[in-house]
């Protein structure tokens, strides 16, 4: 199987309903865990599940607006860009993700 | 010489209620010492504020707080009070009255203030125990003897009184249904639109409303058994441990009628409040004046003035009924209505409707004058509208903007407040007028909103008038008003923690979105700082009702384990009072082996910590621990952590009490409780204090005589030793004081504030006044704590491990390789 092809395409990773609103779930990949976030208004975002600060699992943070607060040291990371907010500097890689017919589709090879 | 007493005429008042006593006050005001006054009261209590029965029922007030005239007051004014004796006969020929116990008193003037009786529906089962009316303190006592969380209450009658009763019972945790005969609630005060919003608001508070519903019978076991349900005419059946009838009142004119005084529906009076017998006056709910009977307080106060004028011969005034407004005393529901609110062919309406926010205002106009008002959801401007209605002045240009209130009409909020009449109501919940607030500010040199709250109760309930109170402080103090710099909870709001807590309770706000909406949060769903705080405040305010929001929990409380720097977790099972068994230790050892847990450590709280557990192993680890009887130690939460103990008198040669057993009992009672921050307890078996109880949030140290209770200690960055709260004798007392203290802390401290800084802020004396000096309050805090614990003591590990839906969050939703 052509690994590159899979990576570039959108892959069904599950139902939107499996992710709690204002919460996250993870997807295990060869390149580490990816955190899939769902906002209050049902938008989804995908970030590498590592805070740019000390690699805290962002998927375990509190989601508010389109940001997540890292559970280890309270850095606030933008879900849209992966950028640390405020005075903190750093960026979590982000990935293309979309919802179609209630299913969440993730594309690892496509920069969001 | 005692000329005065020889000349004093005899006034007898039948009825020791609000109307009668108000008249007596008016008489004393006009002519102190003119009369020798005797008051007969059928109820045993001194005169109390009947309007406050609903807050009494709801638990917002106690009886002392609603007493209008204390027994000392009667003594001070030389009034003979014959309480608990109803008058049975009036001998008009000889000018005497006779009480049911045989007391005979002569009168020159007689004042009838016999009030009204609640209307009792003549339905099958009406005499069953548990079926009652809502009219007196003894009715409230009867209700409270039955009321308990989870039990069912049915209120018959969806009028003002019925809904206030329903609200009180709802706050007591009962399942409340309201059965109302008419198609809409409060049809005598509200039009259909406002009634619809009211119904929606009550339903949102968990009440069930049946409109257009006719009661058939009150059912119970056998012929005389207590009521257990209410059957409606259409066959529906509603469970009921308690039935409250609030279907109206009828004037109590029986005594007058039996004495040959002219009556119809009530005791007939002229404009001077005089009955058909010129020596006898009547006032209040028992009278009928121009075919009209009265149940609201404002016109009755007017009657009192008129009656006093004539009894004292002070003035030739006459009773002129004026419009009176109605408010519903249900905290968080703002409602006001007055005048011809229904309108007719000759009237026009100005309406403002914001259905999503539950706001509806309707102003009814006739010939350019305001004749009727209905406000629902926002009654801030009701006082101003009502003044316009009473003034009966032509509205002119005001018509264009009046629906938006005086602020819009004046163009400047400061000016609008200045313009507001003195008797305009500022605080709807507590009925506090502008003049009351301004006078209190001047008389007591008040300078903060807190001062005004403490002195007048304005803005002390739902808090929606806080801005107006601040405005009045500014008006009164000018430059000298420096508002307290309240630290906002976080950047999402300008409100401080205390204000938010007060508004949650006062406004009956029961979800995080509701709080954010009502308090105008500036962010759509808060932040990582305010959400956990709100979640805790709601949990503490509404035990058993609020549904915990996992997404507003910090990771450790959501995962029931402590996240470590590498993203793994630490797992600490509970060891009651630091005790364990071979079986438990064996189970822990097996779990460590089975899941390759890299580190095991004994904690400072006398338990065992397994470190480095992978997220996906958590559920399985818990399952194995649960099987050995081990449960979550909540070592990860803003919650009750440990109760540290020494071995005490069981083993130690110095021990004077069984500290281990006391510690285990405390931990069994308090585990699972959520707090503003972590809470640690300890029990030492003698003053050597090996359990280090004096650096704990609540420390217990045994002495020969009993137990010393210490509070407000902690280790940590800033070590603080405890302060002595008090000394007690028995284990039961230790338990009651500990739980009451924890309850006070969880209800009053700010989120993330440990007991040490809280006590430093509030003062040890403040805590002692509540926990030590006030036995009644301590008892009620204790009971509140136990009530909340009923919903808190569930092992989260067992819950997660056995629920596949919940367990999902520990695993990846997909694997891509």
Which residues from chain B sit within 8 angstroms of residue A23, using beta carbons?
550-551, 809
Surface of B (503-562) touching A: CB under 8 A = 523-528, 531-532, 550-552, 554-556, 558-559
CATH at A81: 2.102.10.10
Say yes or no to pLDDT of A10 above 50. yes
Interface contact A64-B812, CB threshold 8 A: no
Dihedral sign from CA coordinates of B14, B20, B21, B25: negative
Percent of chain B, pLDDT > 90?
A: 64
- Taking only the tens place, the pLDDT of each residue in B115-151 is 999 999 999 999 999 999 998 999 999 999 999 888 9
Which residues from chain B sit within 8 angstroms of residue A106, using beta carbons?
816
Q: What DSSP element (H or E) covers B369?
A: strand B369-376
Say yes or no to pLDDT of B4 above 50. no
Q: What is the mean pLDDT of residues B443-464?
A: 81
Please provide the DSSP assignment of B552-617 as one string.
GS-HHHHHTSEE-TTS-EEE-B--GGG---HHHHHHHHHHHHHTT--EEEE-TTSSEEEEEE-GGG
Say yes or no to pLDDT of A7 above 70. no
Interface contact A13-B808, CB threshold 8 A: no
Q: What is the mean pLDDT of residues B552-576?
A: 94
Q: What DSSP element (H or E) covers B288?
A: strand B287-288
- Taking only the tens place, the pLDDT of each residue in B284-314 is 999 999 998 988 888 898 999 999 999 999 8
Question: What crossing angle do the helices spanning B466-477 and B449-456 adopt, rounded to 10°?
Answer: 110
Surface of A (40-99) touching B: CB under 8 A = 40, 54-57, 60-65, 69, 71-72, 74, 76
User: Searching chain A, which residue's CA lies closest to the CA of residue B810?
Assistant: A25
Say yes or no to pLDDT of B355 above 80. no
Q: How far apart are CA B403 and CA B421, in angstroms?
A: 18
For the segment(s) B131-247, the CATH number from 3.40.50.11540, 2.30.140.10, 3.50.50.60, 3.30.460.10 is 3.50.50.60
Q: Tell me the pLDDT band of B462, cut-offs 50, 70 and 90.
A: low
For residue B477, what pLDDT is reported? 86
In terms of DSSP H, where are the helices of B711-769? 731-748, 755-762, 764-768
The interface predicted TM-score (ipTM) is 0.89
For residue A6, what pLDDT is reported? 46
| Of B429 and B32, more confident | B32
Which residues have a Cβ under 8 Å from the Cβ of B769 and sit 6 or more positions away? none
B653 is written with which tokens?
A: 């040669």
Which residues from chain A sit within 8 angstroms of residue B808, using beta carbons?
18, 25
- Its CATH class, for the domain covering B334-421, is alpha beta
Domain B639-794 has CATH 3.30.413.10: yes
Output the CATH code of domain B3-115+251-312.
Answer: 3.50.50.60
- Taking only the tens place, the pLDDT of each residue in B712-734 is 999 987 889 999 999 999 999 99
Domains B432-480 and B554-632 share a fold: no
CATH superfamily of the B554-632 domain = Sulfite Reductase Hemoprotein;Domain 2 (3.90.480.10)
- Taking only the tens place, the pLDDT of each residue in B668-712 is 999 999 999 999 999 999 999 999 999 999 999 999 999 999 999
User: Searching chain B, which residue's CA lies closest to the CA of residue A67?
Assistant: B527
Task: Residue B193: name the closest of B375, B451, B52, B11 by CA.
Answer: B375
Interface contact A40-B531, CB threshold 8 A: no
Q: What is the mean pLDDT of residues B630-654?
A: 95
Which residues from chain A sit within 8 angstroms of residue B551, using beta carbons?
20-23, 62-63
Per-residue DSSP letter, A9: S
Surface of A (8-47) touching B: CB under 8 A = 11, 13-14, 18-23, 25-30, 33, 36, 40
Percent of chain B, pLDDT > 70?
A: 97
Q: What is the mean pLDDT of residues B145-173?
A: 92
Q: Tell me the pLDDT band of B321, cut-offs 50, 70 and 90.
A: confident
Q: How far apart are CA B192 and CA B558, in angstroms?
A: 45
For residue B131, what pLDDT is reported? 95
Output the CATH code of domain B432-480.
Answer: 1.10.10
| Of B592 and B1, more confident | B592
Tell me which residue has tokens 């105008």.
B520
Q: What is the mean pLDDT of chain A?
A: 88
B628 is written with which tokens?
A: 């050995």
Q: Tell me the pLDDT band of B549, cut-offs 50, 70 and 90.
A: very high
Q: How far apart are CA B402 and CA B326, in angstroms?
A: 20
Which residues have a Cβ under 8 Å from the Cβ of A31 and sit 6 or more positions away? A48, A108
Per-domain boundaries in chain B: 3-115+251-312, 131-247, 334-421, 432-480, 497-553, 554-632, 639-794
Dihedral sign from CA coordinates of B587, B553, B172, B216: negative
Domain carrying residue A84: 3-111
Q: What is the number of structural domains in chain A?
A: 1
Q: Tell me the pLDDT band of A3, cut-offs 50, 70 and 90.
A: very low
Say yes or no to pLDDT of B629 above 60. yes
Of the given ranges (B256-260, B309-313, B358-362, B619-623), which has the lowest mean pLDDT?
A: B358-362
Say yes or no to pLDDT of B359 above 90. no
Which residues have a Cβ under 8 Å from the Cβ of B793 and sit 6 or more positions away? B671, B672
Say yes or no to pLDDT of A5 above 70. no
């Amino acid at each position: 199987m052509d690994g590159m092809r899979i990576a570039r395409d959108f892959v069904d990773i599950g139902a939107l309903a499996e992710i709690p609103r204002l919460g996250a779930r993870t997807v295990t990949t060869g390149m580490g865990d990816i955190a899939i976030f769902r906002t209050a208004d049902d938008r989804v975002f995908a970030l590498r599940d590592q805070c740019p600060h000390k690699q805290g699992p962002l998927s375990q943070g509190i989601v508010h607006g389109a940001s997540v607060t890292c559970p280890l040291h309270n850095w606030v990371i933008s879900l849209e860009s992966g950028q640390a907010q405020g005075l903190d500097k750093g960026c979590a890689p982000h990935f293309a993700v979309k919802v179609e017919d209630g299913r969440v589709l993730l594309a690892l090879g496509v920069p969001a | 010489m005692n000329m005065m007493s020889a000349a004093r005429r005899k006034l007898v008042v039948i009825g020791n209620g609000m109307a009668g006593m108000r008249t007596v006050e008016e008489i004393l005001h006009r002519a102190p010492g003119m009369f020798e006054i005797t008051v007969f009261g059928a109820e045993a209590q001194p005169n109390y504020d009947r309007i406050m029965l609903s807050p009494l029922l709801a638990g917002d007030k106690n009886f002392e707080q609603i007493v209008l005239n204390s027994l000392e007051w009667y003594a001070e004014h030389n009034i003979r009070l014959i309480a608990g004796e109803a008058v049975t006969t009036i001998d008009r020929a000889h000018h005497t009255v006779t009480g049911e116990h045989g007391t005979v008193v002569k009168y020159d003037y007689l004042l009838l203030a016999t009030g009204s009786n609640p209307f009792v529906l003549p339905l099958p089962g009406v005499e069953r125990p548990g079926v009652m009316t809502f009219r007196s303190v003894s009715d409230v006592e009867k209700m409270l003897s039955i009321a308990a969380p989870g039990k069912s209450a049915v209120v018959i009658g969806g009028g003002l009184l019925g809904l206030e009763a329903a609200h009180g019972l709802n706050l007591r945790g009962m399942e409340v249904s309201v059965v109302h005969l008419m198609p809409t609630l409060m049809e005598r005060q509200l039009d259909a639109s406002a009634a619809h919003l009211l119904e929606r608001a009550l339903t949102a508070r968990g009440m069930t409303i049946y409109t257009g519903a006719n009661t058939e019978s009150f059912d119970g076991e056998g012929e005389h058994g207590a009521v257990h349900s209410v059957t409606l005419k259409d066959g529906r059946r509603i469970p009921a441990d308690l039935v409250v009838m609030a279907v109206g009142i009828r004037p109590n004119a029986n005594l007058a009628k039996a004495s040959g005084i002219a009556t119809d529906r009530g005791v007939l009076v002229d404009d001077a409040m005089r009955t058909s017998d010129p020596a006898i006056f009547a006032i209040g709910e028992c009278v009928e004046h121009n075919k009209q009977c009265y149940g609201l307080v404002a016109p009755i106060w007017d009657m009192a003035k008129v009656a006093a004028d004539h009894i004292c011969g002070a003035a030739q005034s006459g009773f002129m009924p004026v419009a009176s407004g109605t408010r519903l005393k249900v905290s968080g529901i703002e409602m006001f209505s007055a005048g011809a609110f229904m309108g007719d062919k000759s009237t026009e309406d100005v309406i403002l409707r914001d259905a999503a926010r539950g706001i509806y205002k309707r102003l009814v106009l006739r010939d350019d004058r305001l004749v009727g008002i209905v406000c629902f959801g926002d009654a801030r401007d009701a006082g101003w509208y009502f003044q316009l209605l009473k003034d009966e002045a032509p509205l002119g240009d005001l018509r264009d903007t009046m629906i938006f209130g005086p602020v819009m009409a004046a163009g400047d909020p400061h000016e609008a407040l200045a313009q507001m009449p003195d008797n305009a109501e500022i605080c709807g919940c507590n009925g506090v007028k502008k003049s009351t607030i301004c006078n209190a500010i001047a008389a007591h040199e008040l300078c903060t909103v807190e001062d005004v709250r403490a002195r007048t109760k304005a803005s002390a309930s739902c808090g929606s008038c806080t801005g107006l109170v601040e405005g009045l402080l500014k008006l009164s103090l000018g430059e000298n008003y420096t508002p307290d710099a309240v630290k906002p909870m976080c950047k999402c709001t300008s409100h401080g923690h205390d204000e938010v807590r007060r508004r949650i309770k006062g406004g009956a706000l029961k979800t995080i979105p509701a709080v954010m909406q009502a308090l105008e949060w500036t962010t759509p769903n808060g932040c990582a700082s305010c959400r956990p705080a709100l979640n805790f405040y709601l949990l503490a305010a509404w035990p058993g009702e609020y549904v915990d929001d996992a997404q507003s929990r910090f990771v450790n409380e959501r995962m029931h384990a402590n996240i470590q720097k590498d993203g793994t977790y630490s797992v600490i099972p509970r060891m009651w009072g630091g005790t364990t068994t071979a079986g438990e230790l064996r189970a822990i050892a097996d779990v460590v082996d089975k899941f390759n847990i890299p580190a095991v450590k004994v904690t400072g709280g006398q338990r065992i910590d397994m470190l480095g557990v992978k997220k996906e192993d958590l559920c399985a680890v818990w399952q194995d621990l649960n099987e050995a009887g081990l449960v979550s130690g909540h070592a990860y939460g803003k919650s009750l952590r440990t109760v540290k103990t020494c071995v005490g008198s069981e083993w130690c040669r110095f021990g004077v009490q069984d500290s281990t057993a006391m510690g285990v009992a405390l931990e069994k009672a308090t585990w699972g409780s959520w707090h503003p921050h972590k809470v640690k307890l300890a029990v030492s078996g003698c003053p050597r204090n090996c359990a280090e109880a004096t650096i704990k949030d609540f420390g217990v140290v045994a002495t020969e005589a009993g137990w010393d209770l210490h509070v407000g200690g902690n280790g940590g960055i800033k070590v603080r030793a405890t302060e002595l709260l008090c000394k007690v004798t028995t284990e039961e007392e230790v338990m009651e004081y500990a739980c009451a203290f924890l309850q006070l802390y969880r209800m009053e401290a700010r989120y993330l504030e440990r007991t040490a800084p809280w006590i430093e802020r509030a003062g040890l004396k403040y805590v002692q006044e509540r926990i030590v000096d006030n036995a009644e309050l301590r008892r009620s805090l204790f009971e509140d704590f136990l009530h909340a614990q009923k919903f808190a003591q569930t092992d989260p590990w067992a819950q997660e491990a056995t629920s596949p839906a919940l367990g999902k969050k520990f695993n990846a939703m997909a694997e891509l390789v």
